[in-house]
């Protein structure tokens, strides 16, 4: 992760915008309460509750605003692309549920600490991603043993594998897109190219090929051919040096070799 991806003048702007938005939410809350008090002497059956519960809702707006701001900062940093799918889901859960109320305050120094904290974890984040991608590329209970090509990848991923349940008549599924993104991003990182960006990512290229009604494509790292009827994606690794490095660095306690390359 490059901490220069989010200049400090940009951080200051984010902090100022957040504080201004939060202040206006509080002002709106107080104005509604004041309006309710002004209308109280005229209250009849037909008089509406001007605040109509707004002050309770406003109390929930600021934590959600804070969570959205932190999500924006993390996106700017490129941290999410360094994370495994599992860690991304944990981050999203933290930002989306009531735990958002416990997120740290948004100021320049806190953001600086978060940036440096993530920067110190990049090696661990990358290793987590390697282990996760290795795990879902290996044959599993969901992948039947009928594919001898895939079965060879039980201990080390081979230059060609077959992935089941990846495509259908509508294209790539939601979780399948996440897996394709994780795989593509990881090989860009292993090649020292940094995180892959839209529209050069494999998911986007596959989606474009599907719209063109084609059934294959080739990138710098992969050759892909898919079969909608069976739902399989045949994946060929074009950079065998990166595949070798990937296998050698894969974890999770497996006895990993370097593949038959």
pTM: 0.79
For 94-145, the pLDDT digits (tens) are 888 755 667 889 999 999 898 888 888 888 999 999 999 999 998 865 544 5
3-state SS record for the chain: CCHHHCCHHHHHHHHHHHHHHHHHHHHHHHHHHHHHHHHHHHCCCCCCCCCCCHHHHHHHHHHHHHHHHHHHHHHHHCHHHHCCHHHHHHHHHHHHCHHHHHCCCCCHHHHHHHHHHHHHCHHHHHHHHHHHHHHHHCCCCCCCCCCHHHHCCCCCCCCEEEECCCEECCEECHHHHHHHHHHHHHHHHHCCCCCCCCCCCHHHHHHHHHHCCCCEEECCCEEEEEECCCCEEEEEECCHHHHHHHHHHCCCCCCCCCCCC
Per-residue pLDDT of the chain (261 residues; tens, 9 = 90+): 444 456 667 889 999 999 999 999 889 888 877 887 887 777 665 555 555 555 556 677 888 889 999 999 888 888 888 899 999 999 888 888 755 667 889 999 999 898 888 888 888 999 999 999 999 998 865 544 556 666 778 889 999 999 989 998 888 988 999 999 999 999 999 999 988 989 999 999 999 999 999 999 999 999 999 999 999 999 999 999 999 999 999 954 343 333 333
Percent of the chain with pLDDT over 90: 47
């Amino acid at each position: 992760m490059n901490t220069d991806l989010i200049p400090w003048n940009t951080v200051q702007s984010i902090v100022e915008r957040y504080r201004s938005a939060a202040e206006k939410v509080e002002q709106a809350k107080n104005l509604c309460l004041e309006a309710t008090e002004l209308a109280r002497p005229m209250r009849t059956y037909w008089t509406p509750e001007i605040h109509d519960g707004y002050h309770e809702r406003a109390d929930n707006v600021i934590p959600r605003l804070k969570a959205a701001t932190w999500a924006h900062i993390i996106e700017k940093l490129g941290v999410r692309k360094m994370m495994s799918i599992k860690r991304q889901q944990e981050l999203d859960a933290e930002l989306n549920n009531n735990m958002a109320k416990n997120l740290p305050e948004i100021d320049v120094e806190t953001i600086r600490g978060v940036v440096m904290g993530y920067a110190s974890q990049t090696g661990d984040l990358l290793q987590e991603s390697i282990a996760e991608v290795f795990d879902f590329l290996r044959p599993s209970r969901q992948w039947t043993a009928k594919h001898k090509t895939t079965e060879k990848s039980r201990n080390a991923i081979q230059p060609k594998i077959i992935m089941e349940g990846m495509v259908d008549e509508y294209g790539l599924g939601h979780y399948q897109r996440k897996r394709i993104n994780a795989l593509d991003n990881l090989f860009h990182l292993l090649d020292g190219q940094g995180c892959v960006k839209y529209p050069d990512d494999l998911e986007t290229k596959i989606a474009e090929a599907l719209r063109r009604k084609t059934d294959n494509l080739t990138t710098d790292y992969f050759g892909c051919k898919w079969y909608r009827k069976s739902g399989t994606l045949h994946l060929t690794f074009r950079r065998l040096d990166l595949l070798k490095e990937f296998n050698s660095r894969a974890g999770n306690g497996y006895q990993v070799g370097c593949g038959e390359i």
